[in-house]
Amino acid sequence: MDEKVYLTALNKCFFGSWNIAHKLLQHFGSAKAVFSAGYKELSHLLPGLDATIMHLTSDELADKAFDELELCRREGLQAISILDDGYPSRLAQTPEAPLVIFSRGSRKLDGGRFLSIVGTRHCTPMSGKYCDMVAEYLSSLKVKPVIVSGMAYGIDTLAHKSALRYGLDTIAVIATGLDTVYPACNRNLAPRIEERGAVVTEFWSQTPPFPSNFVSRNRIVAGLSDGTLVVESRLHGGSLITAKAAFNYDREVFAFPGKVEDECYAGCNELIASDIAHLARGAEDICRELDWASEGRRRTGRIQSLWNALPPEKRAVLQVLRRGGEMDAAQIAACCSRSISQISYLLLEMEIEGLVRHISANKYVNL
């Protein structure tokens, strides 16, 4: 079995504890090596997680992962691992990036500008007008952004429909497998999204819409995007989780304000008051902050262009450093399946190019 099978199994095994999965990858150098490790070594690294260790030391989970990838192949679905070139670079930069994501649609998940639009499921009629207003303005830009949302009830659905109405690509991050459309009322919307974008998930087929899945997928919505707009939210709305994830990922957050006494906007007002979100009076404010209204590029845009121009071997090194933090040439070589001499030469080039920094004890970090 190839590495993608083991990455798929590892992501399933550590759902909700992705940081542990990333640390195991760093320690062993590959997902396959994690599943080849002995019980004694794993129990030392994962104290108290006996049930998890049993999954890692048996063939059952890897066999199921193989079957899942075979299903994707038969159904024409994409399974994209964090080591693949097609994996979205913005998401790869987050500490909770899934090791494998599944996608169906016509659009790549990387390149260009991405804005996530989120909010409450039980929204007021004004929310539809706000979504249309934003989409209409974004459609007038020379470089048209992609709208990311979660295809749930309420504002998610409005955001996708507004994007399609004004000719924008849109990506839906769902909380089930790709074989399920939830809510059922969006069965006609999902194919339209796939025509102008993609439906994305980290969940295997036959995964029902458990409440916890929605919380998990929020981090992917935030991680895919340059910025996140909260259109309308009560004080404890789920969209606040997405906004706070975006803020923690050092992405821009925006919120439409409401009257102090209006409970429908209490969450938006709180985000603004706590300096998590910029106050947005319209799409112009969002584009001004992200530098989308001008022909100039924002710093993240320059980073994106640089990333796209890098050869695969240098991308692989940066992905390893983003996951693992400080690492030496031998550790990086193990993760990239290359010789230490090859990696040392690459690191020298990348240090000159300003992509990595050499620190003490022959360790390197991503800039």
Residues 319 and 255 in one domain: no
Q: What is the pLDDT of residue 210?
A: 94
Residues 290 and 322 in one domain: no
Rounded mean pLDDT, 89-116: 94
> How many whole angstroms separate alpha carbon 110 and alpha carbon 188?
25
Q: What is the mean pLDDT of the chain?
A: 90
Residues 171 and 234 in one domain: yes
CB 142 within 8 A of CB 295: yes
Q: How many separate domains does the chain show?
A: 3
SS3 content of the chain, % helix, strand, coil (to 5): 50, 15, 35
Q: 309 versus 299: which is more confidently predicted?
A: 309
In a domain, 104, yes or no: no
Residues 231 and 295 in one domain: yes
pLDDT band for position 364 (cuts 50, 70, 90): confident
Residues 264 and 143 in one domain: yes
Regarding pTM above 0.95, the answer is no
- Final residue of a structural domain among 244, 268, 300: 300
**What are the backbone angles phi and psi of residue 98, rounded to the nearest 5°?**
-65, 150
Residues 237 and 347 in one domain: no
pLDDT band for position 324 (cuts 50, 70, 90): low
Both tokens of 294, joined, read: 């001008």
Q: What is the pLDDT of residue 337?
A: 87
Q: Please, which residues have CB within 8 angstroms of residue 175's CB and are 6 or more apart in sequence?
A: 150, 152, 182, 201, 203, 209, 210, 213, 214, 216, 217
Residues 281 and 341 in one domain: no
Rounded mean pLDDT, 256-266: 93
Helix axes 3-13, 60-75, angle to 10 degrees: 110
- Final residue of a structural domain among 48, 75, 102: 75
- Final residue of a structural domain among 275, 300, 325: 300
| β pairing state of 363-366 and 197-201 | unpaired
Residues 70 and 131 in one domain: no
pLDDT band for position 304 (cuts 50, 70, 90): low
In a domain, 161, yes or no: yes
Q: What is the pLDDT of residue 297?
A: 41
Question: Percent of the chain having pLDDT more than 90?
Answer: 67
Question: Percent of the chain having pLDDT more than 70?
Answer: 93
pLDDT band for position 360 (cuts 50, 70, 90): low
Closest to 271 measured CA to CA, from 239, 309, 300: 239
Q: Which domain holds residue 342?
A: 311-366
> Looking at the predicted structure, is the pLDDT value of residue 261 above 70?
yes
In a domain, 346, yes or no: yes
In a domain, 108, yes or no: no
In a domain, 139, yes or no: yes
CATH assignment at residue 290: 3.40.50.450
Residues 41 and 122 in one domain: no
Residues 126 and 265 in one domain: yes
- Going through the chain in order, the beta strands assigned E by DSSP cover 78-81, 100-105, 114-118, 146-149, 170-173, 197-201, 227-230, 252-255, 278-279, 327-328, 356-359, 363-366
CATH assignment at residue 331: 1.10.10.10
Rounded mean pLDDT, 287-293: 91
Lowest mean pLDDT among 64-78, 137-151, 327-341: 327-341
Peptide bond into 191 cis (omega under 30): no
In a domain, 145, yes or no: yes
In a domain, 330, yes or no: yes
> How many whole angstroms separate alpha carbon 279 and alpha carbon 265?
12
Residues 175 and 136 in one domain: yes
Residues 133 and 189 in one domain: yes
pLDDT band for position 301 (cuts 50, 70, 90): low
Q: What is the pLDDT of residue 296?
A: 36
Helix axes 125-139, 283-290, angle to 10 degrees: 50
In a domain, 255, yes or no: yes
Lowest mean pLDDT among 69-83, 155-169, 193-207, 350-364: 350-364
Model confidence pLDDT, tens digit, residues 169-214: 999 999 999 999 999 999 999 999 999 999 999 999 999 999 999 9
> How many whole angstroms separate alpha carbon 324 and alpha carbon 95?
9
pLDDT band for position 328 (cuts 50, 70, 90): confident
